[in-house]
Chain A
């Protein structure tokens, strides 16, 4: 009996792997249509991250180490919205001339209610639905909030000779920055970390949890854009 069991065990050990399907998740952008127009973007609205063939980082025209990237990205995301939702977080010093930040704009309940009515009257239920999400967020936070302008994003440009390890670390740090801010906000407002909200929603599919998740995402959207690939040998350095 034991022999048979051993045989089975060894067979299983040989034919299987302890394989975990985990990693950093990303949604690639759809292919760009050739006739798409270049969009005008304000200078401060883009956080430029570049990597080169020596695995060095150039962030907003400054050389940073990978350990500094997360805090830099966090500053970019909260710069003009501090003091609103995290009273305990110190303000980012905005005096630096080299660094420009996106200007967060107020999202106010009174404006939104009027906007929602106008969308409904115009027969645009989808747009009305998006306004509705913001109204729910204001209700959950208990106050108006400031949102990032639509053009604010983190732009990542990777050279073809950068190592994959650095690329993934950059992706990881940028995601960590957003996740940490989301956790912070979620703990302050809902006494629960954002990761735990998402995990519980995955199990229970409760609408109230989804509302909270959407509210936090409205304040801290994850917008990482990867530039169309360019080759350093074609001389853009």
Chain B
């Protein structure tokens, strides 16, 4: 008795040598699929859905106007306009357009896009005001930011 020792079979630990490869792969995926966050979003925007979607290829030509209720409740719940990291007034839009235009190369200044990211529950009044200002500033190429959906029927 006792002559037979039960042999315990050791299961080797799973090799983690390939772990860095996997993580790097993930990293590269995210680097390709995302863009650097350029500005802090200070307003809450739920984009409406649309089917006739246009995608701008040259991202450096786009400037953003965000309109929606402030993230921070202390600023109230009425929709506000956000230009470059700060709340703004409709009257400031024309100056803003001029300044943003100067950040582009001279040959591309007429090709600037203004992307309007507007919360879907916003009333049109403020949006119309912004559009009128954009017209006065001759920033006529506008993209109404939306997420894509299928065409109905």
B11 cross-chain contacts in A, Cβ below 8 A: none
A9 cross-chain contacts in B, Cβ below 8 A: 23, 26-27, 30
**A interface residues, tally (CB under 8 Å):** 46
With A5-B27, A163-B123 already in contact, the answer to whether A158 and B146 are too (CB < 8 A) is no
Smallest CB–CB gap between A237 and chain B, Å? 16
Could you mark each residue 148-177 of chain A with 1 if its beta carbon is under 8 Å from any beta carbon of chain B, else 0? Answer: 000000000011111111011101100110
What residue in chain B is nearest A18 (Cβ atoms)?
B34
Determine the distance from Cα of A29 to Cα of B132 in the docked complex, in whole angstroms.
10
State which residues 126-153 of B face A: CB under 8 Å. 127-128, 131-132, 134-136, 138-148, 151-153
**Contact yes or no, B123 A23, CB < 8 A:** no
Could you mark each residue 9-38 of chain B with 1 if its beta carbon is under 8 Å from any beta carbon of chain A, else 0? Answer: 000000010011001101100110111110
**Contact yes or no, B143 A25, CB < 8 A:** yes
State which residues 22-45 of A face B: CB under 8 Å. 22-31
**Contact yes or no, A168 B52, CB < 8 A:** no
**Contact yes or no, A23 B146, CB < 8 A:** yes
Smallest CB–CB gap between A230 and chain B, Å? 10
What residue in chain B is nearest A71 (Cβ atoms)?
B153
Between A8, A26, A172, the greatest number of chain B beta carbons within 10 A of the residue's beta carbon is seen for: A172
**Contact yes or no, B145 A23, CB < 8 A:** yes
Determine the distance from Cα of A183 to Cα of B107 in the docked complex, in whole angstroms.
34
**Contact yes or no, B62 A21, CB < 8 A:** yes
Contact of A168 among B136, B146, B153 (CB under 8 A): B146
With A8-B27, A31-B136 already in contact, the answer to whether A158 and B144 are too (CB < 8 A) is no
A27 cross-chain contacts in B, Cβ below 8 A: 140-142
Determine the distance from Cα of A102 to Cα of B33 in the docked complex, in whole angstroms.
47
**B interface residues, tally (CB under 8 Å):** 56
A22 cross-chain contacts in B, Cβ below 8 A: 53-56, 143, 145-148
**Contact yes or no, B121 A163, CB < 8 A:** yes
Contact of B124 among A23, A163, A175 (CB under 8 A): A163
**Contact yes or no, B36 A229, CB < 8 A:** no
What residue in chain A is nearest B59 (Cβ atoms)?
A21
A67 lies within 8 A of chain B by Cβ? yes
B24 cross-chain contacts in A, Cβ below 8 A: 5
Smallest CB–CB gap between A178 and chain B, Å? 9
What residue in chain A is nearest B131 (Cβ atoms)?
A28
Could you mark each residue 8-22 of chain A with 1 if its beta carbon is under 8 Å from any beta carbon of chain B, else 0? Answer: 110011011111111
Given contacts A15-B36, A26-B143, 10 further A-B contacts (CB under 8 A): A2-B23, A12-B34, A15-B37, A20-B147, A21-B145, A24-B54, A24-B146, A161-B125, A165-B48, A169-B48
The 10 lowest CB-CB distance pairs between A and B, nearest first, are: A160-B125, A16-B34, A5-B23, A165-B120, A23-B145, A25-B54, A1-B20, A175-B52, A172-B50, A2-B19
